[in-house]
């Protein structure tokens, strides 16, 4: 009996700790990793992120979402993408000469250089982009419950311009960098730009 009590005195705290850790990871935050160059210069390949599951998604928030079923090239379930939110539900979005417009107003893009804003981006609006999408063809606004996302390194990013919108239920959460991972400017560009 004494041996069982001693074993339980070790096992029960371990089990409780594991359950608490799993609940926190499931409902509060989790971790993600950047895969590829699409968020350069602010996030680099293999950079680790903390993802807050219930943080409010705002314009310019960096989010993590499951691209499976949205991007036709994401063939495996739980294919996480890291992108920046440009359009919220109901927004109109367009690009002209490297400037982004949301609801007719210029979006400040100090988080990337002029070259990153203009190289390979072209002039477009949601209606012109949506003609080649599998879903939401002829969209003029971001649909209710969905978001329009772009990568920061626009010339190499596989993002909403090519396949459409991200449904809210596919979003894992809002990504933040760790303070030791990068410099202050990049942390600000990822952690503090939402409006």
Catalytic residues: 38, 83
Cβ distance 75 to 84 under 8 Å? no
Alpha helices in the chain (DSSP H): 2-27, 114-118, 126-130, 160-163, 184-191
**Distance from C-alpha of 77 to C-alpha of 141, rounded to nearest angstrom:** 27
- Structure tokens, 84: 């920046």
**Distance from C-alpha of 2 to C-alpha of 4, rounded to nearest angstrom:** 5
Cβ distance 179 to 145 under 8 Å? no
């Amino acid at each position: 009996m004494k041996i069982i009590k001693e074993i339980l005195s070790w096992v029960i705290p371990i089990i409780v700790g594991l359950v608490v850790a799993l609940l926190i990871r499931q409902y509060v935050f989790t971790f993600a990793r950047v895969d590829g160059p699409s968020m350069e210069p602010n996030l680099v390949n293999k950079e680790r992120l903390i993802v807050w599951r219930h943080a409010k998604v705002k314009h310019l928030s960096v989010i993590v979402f499951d691209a499976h079923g949205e991007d036709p090239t994401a063939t495996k379930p739980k294919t996480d993408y890291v992108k920046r939110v440009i359009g919220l539900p109901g927004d109109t979005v367009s690009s002209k000469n490297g400037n982004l417009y949301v609801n007719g107003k210029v979006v400040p893009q100090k988080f990337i250089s002029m070259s990153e804003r203009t190289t390979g981006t072209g002039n477009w609006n949601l209606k012109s982009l949506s003609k080649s999408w599998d879903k939401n063809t002829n969209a003029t606004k971001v649909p209710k419950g969905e978001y329009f996302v772009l990568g920061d390194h626009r010339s190499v990013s596989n993002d909403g311009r090519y396949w459409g919108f991200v449904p809210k239920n596919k979003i894992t959460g809002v990504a933040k960098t760790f303070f030791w991972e990068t410099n202050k400017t990049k942390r600000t560009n990822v952690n503090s730009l939402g409006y």
